[in-house]
Amino acid sequence: MTSPSLASQTSQGSAPSESGAQGGKHPHFALAVLSLAMGGFAIGTTEFVTMGLLPEIATGVGVTIPAAGHVISAYAVGVVVGVPIIAILGARLPRRALLVALMVAFALGNAASAAAQSYGVLTLARFFAGLPHGAYFGVASLVAAGLAAPGRKGRAIAMMMLGLSVANVVGVPAATWLGQNLGWRTAYVAVTGLGLLTVALVLLFVPSFPGDREATGRRELAAFRRPQVLLTLLAGAVGFGGMFAVYSYIAPTVTELGGLPNSAVPVFLLSFGLGMVAGTWVAGELADWSVFKSLLGSSVGVAVILVVFALVAPYGWWALPVVFLISVISSVLVVNLQLRLMTVAADAQTIGASMNHASLNIANALGAWLGGLVIAAGYGYSAPALVGAVLAVLGLVILLASAALHRQQHPVVS
């Protein structure tokens, strides 16, 4: 007799059964998931448009581009701080009401970003705007899984997360164009509107879901005592930082290193967004095969493709398909980290589902910070990609340690 393999244990996400969705797919499944995805679209737009408008923001608040990169880090820190607080305080709350409250706070944070008149105020506003981010995706993942038919939870979560991917195809390029032509503040005004639209859609189409009445702060925090949870979070925080080391500085890399005009930046952002859509779909398919093997493969792929990007970035348009591949492979990593965490967190579902985006935003902060350091040190705009490749390799090492721990805890017996 053998213990369950690591691959099979992590090939399925889990979510608690919820009233209104027990026994099969909810009759308004498509509209409900679309409403949840709209929130992801709004969040994805605000998270990534800052990278595309970094030169304009730096000029607008009177700082250098590397200093403006800390605004990206402030948003990421907000995500990390917000997840455990909101997950603990909100685990027992009705989930639709919690989603609405999170999107209202998100809209207010982006409105404050648009109104900020100084670097310090903008940094604080971006921190506040980031607070609801991870908790929204965590709660939305649980709701999407609860709405799905049995055996299709992973694909339901991938469908919800497509909002984040589509944001990079439509929302980020459009908001970047707005920011370049009408002032960077208009991008955040547009995101504020998207947040309010999400509130309306969730109220209209997402059914009422009770919170976890048995949840306690102690039980949710117990997830952090599970080594596999910590290793998965660390793998995301380090390994995914490689992508952000490049993407945070994509605008000056395209224009200053690649020698292309500003009008090329939205095209590169569009390529990244198309890669996210493709990668999210691929991730859903690979999850049915093996979540953990998908994580290992995508970690190797990210390391390799970032080295390729460092080599081709000086050649302008030749970097465009490489950006697409970076996004595809990175998206496989994101979705499967989400499913992995929902499995290893066991009964601490709210914080387990939410912490993935906290981990990824630590990666955001880490990647943007390290990328800014090597640029400021004079190594040029190709250097962040090499830093990113090192981070991806470190993430792979952490995943291999997770696999070794699993085999130690579940040895094969005859």
| pLDDT tens profile 250-273 | 888 999 888 898 888 888 888 888
Would you state the structure tokens that stand for residue 307, as one six-digit string? 């080295």
Q: Are 48 and 72 in contact (CB under 8 A)?
A: no
Give the containing element (helix H, strand E) for 167: none
Homologous superfamily of 26-409 in CATH? MFS general substrate transporter like domains (1.20.1250.20)
| pLDDT tens profile 35-68 | 999 999 999 999 888 888 888 999 988 888 878 8
If DSSP states are collapsed to H, E and C, what string results for 241-277? HHHHHHHCCHHHHHHHHCCCCHHHHHHHHHHHHHHHH
Q: Which residue has the tokens 């949870």?
A: 229
Phi-psi region of 346 (alpha: psi -120 to 50; beta: other; left: phi over 0): left
pTM of the predicted protein model: 0.73
Would you say residue 352 has pLDDT above 90? no
Highest mean pLDDT among 19-33, 74-88, 286-300, 372-386: 372-386
- Mean pLDDT, the chain, rounded, equals 83
| Rounded distance between C-alpha atoms, residue 46 and residue 243, angstroms | 17
**pLDDT at residue 14 in the model:** 38
Q: Give me the sign of the Cα torsion angle 256, 129, 110, 275.
A: positive
The ranges assigned to domains in the chain are 26-409
Residues 6+ apart with CB under 8 A from 383: 310, 371, 374, 375
pLDDT band at 413 (very low <50, low <70, confident <90, very high): very low
Would you say residue 371 has pLDDT above 60? yes
Average pLDDT over residues 317-327: 93
